[in-house]
Every structure is written in structure tokens, then in C-alpha cells.
Structure 1
């Protein structure tokens, strides 16, 4: 419920000016500097002096604070003074100076409403004294929220690009490494590196996280200790099963970086051999994590080759089929010939094949393509060709839009200056105010379009892959595809594989590839000997 008290027409309407700029904004830009924002607001207020508007003397400036949260000193003072009714309106250069979060923005406006304080945006048609203005503020804040999410996505894309180049994505250092602040990379701490190597060796001998942690603690070793950005000391605690497990699975120790389910070669030096690291991963998997994972899979199976498998014996498709063995309380998963599914068990010699065995075989065969240098070159060239075709036009579109944005901002700035100089009786005032509304809407539209283009450009730049990365990804095809969602796994396989034909008589599987001449070249199929247990096995 709004609480707008009647104001004496002769009493001044004091307007508090709030300004903010984020640390990630261009500090040299006129449009984001606090001084420029305040100048705009002052000109706007002066243009309405005839209506009793006046500038409240206290400044509310938040330099270097994000609009994504409410923890800002000047904003806290502004809200406290609003509750004490020290002013009657709050004026900002743009609505998202108050907040980029829709929920927070509406919360602030609710506080203003309850205490009879209006909110005005200089460059946008928002004046909360009217119902139309309140509607516009909600619509425009949705754009601000969208813009913030786009910025977050671009940040994640840029981090992914850094990792692809072997650069560390951030975080605190782990046992065995220090952070070289000048070179912005990890450097080996030789004393701690010896402890890290001992940690891996102990686990291989003891085969127990608890026993290994207890031994390390008994020898006086502790976790990595470091200094946080605020100067406080962190870490240095005892080893336990949780933090030990985290260290043992971290590929940083073999000179690699894991990011969003993918593995990349890092700039830093590894301190543990890949042989030892892989042995530890196998033991960890066997000691618990693997068993829990398999127990979940007994309940449900993805059937990655759904719609792709065909029987060479009778020519029919082989479709997903599950069997529950009540005595063993287990569910088994197969690809079964359609002719058998229809009731004629003697019509086909193949009948069914374990789903997991066939899928693993197909994925491994696809992984062998990583040893084909011609194929690797084709993929790299096709990817670069696609990116090279799209990047120039995207960049040109962004350049044109940026120029349009600059012209709109300059025109808006000139109009505000004219209105401020000529006062409330300025000729064509109504035309100027209407034009400001049009420019504000145009500016919003252009900013959203530019943000979308920037995201697309970053995405295309991240796809500028090299041969080593492609080869690594294909050789580790089983691991890479395992990080995707089930739907994405099926879609990827359907893009590559045309058909999987099973010949049980010859114990052979032929994988027909989709016609992609730019990638496969003359290669149209893969095949290999496929031997599986005839006795049903749980998935």
C-alpha cells in the first residue's frame, strides 16, 4: 500500500541523488562515472525547479559496488534517510543503479512507497508517482536481470577459454603448490610436494582413506595453509577422509586442470606420475564410489544406442528391453531383436545383447578415431572454418550496434543539457521528453542485442580449438560423453552414428557413420570383433 502524503505545493520537493558504479565497469567511461551520473541527475532536477524540485545536499555515492546485492554503504544510508523522510524523491541516472536484481529493486521501491518517497530515472520513463511508471519499472528491471545473467554467462565462457589455454581458473592453492602472483600460475612448493607424493604412496599401500589420514596426521603433516585476500590465515587443519579424498582426485598433481567435467593440460608442473595417479583413482573407485554409482544404475539405464542398433541375422531393429530378476532383486538391460519381442523366439539367432557391453564397445571404437591424424585435421579445419565464417559478421554487427548506442547516448545527453539550461518553459519541451523516452527504449534494446552478440562471439572464440585438444577429447570419448546429460549423450551419438549392426554369428559389430565428408573423409564405417557373455549380466 502506497503512503503518499499530500505535499504543500509551495514546499520544495527535495530530491536525493544516488549513484553507483561496479568494479567491472569501465572507470574512464563518462556514462559510468559517478560524476557524470550526478551531473545528469542535477540537470534533470534543475529542469523541474519550476515544479518545486530541489537537490538534497547529501551525496549518496557507491563507488566500486556491484548492483547484484544490497550490501552497499551509501544505499543503506539512503534507505535509512528515506524512512526518516529527509527527502521526497530519489533520482538515479538509470534504474539499475539501484539494483540489477529484480527482487531487490522492487523491495527498495516498496520501502520508498511506504514512506512517501518517489523514484525517478533520468534516462528512462520511470516515475513511481504514476501507475504507468510503476509498470515500466517492472518491465525494464526484467531486462536488467537478463543483462546480469548474460554477463555471468560471458564470465563463465571466458574462464573456460582460460582453462583451455592451461591457465588456472582461480581458487586457493592446494598442498604442494604456491601461487606465483607475478606470473599468475601455480609454482611447486618442494617441501609440500614431498608430502603430497607421500600421501599418494601411503594410500596405495594402505588402501584406506581413514588409515592414510591418520598416518599423515601422526607424522605431523597438515593441510595447506595460505593467506586470504583479507590477510587472514586459512587452512592448516588435520587430514580427514573428506579433504584427503579431494586431494587424491585432483588432477592438478599430474599437471592438468579439470573444469566443468573436462580435463586440460595446465601451465604448471605436475608432481605425481600419471601411473600413480591413475592407480589411486582405480582404487578409490573400487573402494566405494564406483559401487554406489553402479547401485544407482541398476535402477535405470539410458540406452544410448536407442534407435541405432540392427540385427545382421534377420535385419530387424534391436530395441531396449529390461528384465527384473526377482530372486536376485536386480534389473538387467538389453537390446533385443524386434522379431523376438513379437513372440517368435526362434526367428533370430541373436535374440538379445547386454546393453552396457554393446554401448561400451561402440564408445571405445569411436575413441580410437583419436589416433587418425587425417580425421583430427578435418575436425580442426571444419571447426575453424565455421568460426571464421561467423566471427566477422558477428563482430561487424556488434560494431554497428555500438555506434548506434553511442549516438543514442550522445543525443540523450544533449537533450538533458538543453532541458536543464532552458528550464520548465523550454520550447518543444514535450517533444524533448518524448524523444528521451524513445532513446531510453532504444538504448535498452541495443544493449540487450550487444550483450547477446558478445556472448555469441566469446562462444565462437572458445571453439578455436587445436589438434592436441581434439585428439585428447576423442581418445577420451568415453569419459567426455559420460559428463553429458542422457539426452545430450544420445543426441551426440545420433549425430555421428548412422547405424550399429550386430552379427552374432561372426562376433562382429559394424558402426556405420553419418555422411560427414568434411570430417570423416573417405571413412564411412568402423568395425571390430565383439565378444560378450551369453549369460545375462546386471547393468
Structure 2
């Protein structure tokens, strides 16, 4: 007679009573073992392994014993799984469907010793699905009751468990103050109000050697012991429990626990946190604003719209022709915002670099006082441009005209005079046009700005090119030992010998060209593809400089 290997699986949702010598899991296993014994004439034999999951919900398959059992099923070492009731295996219809698929694939079946049904018939499958539906319904209703009980208890100010906040210890359904830790909490609130910055508070605590007090939770888990993080400090400063309240979702209720922080201190802290958060958002939004929005036009006078696109967590800003942006046309300009703004900023910095010429351009009356003050004021505005503060560019630039070979920047001279703190004569010019020698080149779908000397307006290292130069140097280090030739190297690297030869030429680039590539300052159009596809790379370093670096 063929032996039928039977594995007994038991489960209990809570750990209540599991410490008893004969508990619910033992009772389930005994009933299953008796059933297997009654089928001994059919060759049924109970496997010795025990698969018990005590204190684990049937709403998930993340159970250690069940995982071990499924591994045995997949290995073909179990023929039948015996359970006391179907809901011991799972209370989820979705999970049950996955289990049945796993059992079918392994040729394993299961039996419930207290529920008789035959899953080979449509009526048996209907019966099983009805049982599981009621089991899932019971689990969801139980979960709703628990959530409602927690909400009602918190509305009455009770502490419903979990890790108690620093400064408190659990006591029945409330919290009691641990005075030693409460003194530290009061110190944190007081110092934050004095410093006005969580970052400075963190640095002060670290400098004074103040760490998170070490504690042990009810379950025996060690807590604290390290330095305060900014996240921990924010969590403490915002926690309504310290004001004597209990929070639940979006609601706050009076708590049964005594307050550690008085009402006035807590309110002042929340006001300061909210003010700093709004200020941070304003600064972040300002940093991402487009200072030339509404001021950029193409060579036909059509405006370009400031827009952006997100790739992952990176935000890329552009100035795009209105028709192209709204889908009315497939042609138009799409300029990287940072490159255009960088070009305009650089041109303004050049204007400010010569205070005397600027005074002449603005028709200022040159006095001894102006000769002394103007250079310092120009230097101050140059610092603002170098720090990429958009306010100055927005204030003084009224229009940016993007042409095929030149970009014209119209500067509002009265606005510039106000920024410099000087007065223009009545008959002085109102605007000045600054010409930026730059041409548009296409890179994929995006147009790039290239200055007259061949450099991009914004240096950015080409990662593919940098990797190629590094690869060329590694290959040359291998070849120079003389142990293998270029054909063997190409075979080892999985490339053709001609490609390896073209790459190896990059190992002999001049130091100036190599440094420029690493910094992204090579001539526009010099890419990994151009350097490996071109017929030759000059061996003379001066020729390389002329070919690969911007002029001047």
C-alpha cells in the first residue's frame, strides 16, 4: 500500500493561553492526529514535524511555520495537509487561491477534520468558498471592532499601548511621569524656543554630550542610547502627549496622563515650527522658480513658457515655445532653463565687472563718492548672482530674445540703478541690450546652448565619456605589461579589436583634455560616440587642445 504523508498544521490568532501545558494548538494537533489514524487503512501516516503558528493572524501568509510547510510541499515531501478547520489555514479568499494553486502544482491536497466537503465537485468548491468568505468576514468585523474600541478609548484619554514617549512610563491605561526624563523634555522645548532651530538644537545637544536616555520596553526591547536625530527632535516637539493630550489620526483628545509641558510653551513651540516650515517651503519654491518666466521670446517674438518635467525625484525646468507646449505644433524651442539662466547671469556679471563702463552706460554722474562706492555695490550684486539668487535677475531683466546665433538680454537700467543704490539722470537711457554670443545645437529632443568659443553654457560631466576614458586607461595598464595583445584583450572584454583600438586612443589624451572631460568643460559635441567613431585622435597635445577644448 502506498504511504500517504500527512502534515498537521495548527494556528491560533492570539497568544493567550499558549503558556498552558495543553493549549489550543495541542488540541488541534490531537484532533488532526486522530483523524489521520482513522485513515491508516488508506496508508495515511502523520509526519513527525510540528507546524504550529501561535499568536499569528490568518489574514496573512507571513507565518514561519506555514512558510516551512510550503517549502516542504514545494520539495514534494508532503501529500496531504491536515487542519482542524479551513480558517486555520487562512482567512483570506485571495490567499486561499494562492495556496490552492501552490498545492495543485505540487500534487498536494488538504483536509479539514471538522468540515466535510469535496473540492473535486462544483458544490464542494462553492461550500469551501462560502466558509472562507465567512471566515474573512469575521476577521474584518473583528478588526473593525478593535479599531472602534481603540478610537473610543483614546477619545476618553486612555493610553492604548505601544512604546511610551520619552518622559513617561505606562501605568495601566494611562502614563506616569518619569521625572528624570521629563526634565530633559522640558530642556529640549526651552532650548528650541531660545535657539529657534532644530538643527542648532541637535548640534548643541551633541556638543554637550546629551544623548537619548536608554530605556527598556515592556517586551524587553532596548530603546535609546544614541545621539538625538533631527527627526526625533521634531517628533518630540510636536507630540501632543507632552501637553496632556492624546492624539488619534486627525483628532486630539484630553488625556488622562499629566502634562510635562505647559500650554503656553507648547503653543509657542508649535507656532515657531509652523513658521519655519512655511519659510522653508517659500525658500524651496523660490529656488525652483523660473526667474525668466514670461520674459523669454524666440526670434519671431513668440513667448516661451516656463515649465518642468520630473524624472524620478529630479525636477528639470525648461522654457518651451507656447505652441509646442500646448500641443498646437510639433516644432519650436525647448531650452534647458538652467543653461539659459546661467548664460544671462554670466552676462550680467560681466556687465557688473567694470563699474566705470557701467556708469558710462547708465549715464551716471561720476563723483568721488560714486567712484568709491560703486565698485563695492557692483561686487555685492555679483555675489548675489554667484549665489544664484533669482530676485536680482527677475528685477533687472525685462526680456530675453533667443535667436539662432545670438541671445539678446534687455536690462532695465532704472531697476539696476535701484539695486545699486544710485540715481540716473532724467535723460538717461531706460534699457540696454546685452548680446550673448551663443548658438543652439540639438541634443535629442532638447536644444542646447553653446557659446561662441564652443563651450556649453553650463558645465556638466558626460558620465559615458568619463567611463570610456577610465576604461581606456585600465585597458592600457593591462596591455603595457606585455602579457596579452590587443586581440586577446578584445576577446576577453567581449568587443571587437577595432573598437578596443579606438577606445585605447583615449588613454593618451593630454592632461588638460582629460581634466576638462572630468569637469564637463570639453568642447560641445565631444562625446563618447564622437571620440570612438572619428577616424583619428590627434597624438599632438596642442592639436588635441584645439580639437577638443573650447577656444581661448
TM range (shorter): 0.3 to 0.5
Give the TM-score normalised by the residue count of structure 2.
Answer: 0.45
Higher relative contact order (CA 8 A, sep 6+): 1
Give the TM-score normalised by the residue count of structure 1.
Answer: 0.46
Q: Which has the larger radius of gyration?
A: 2
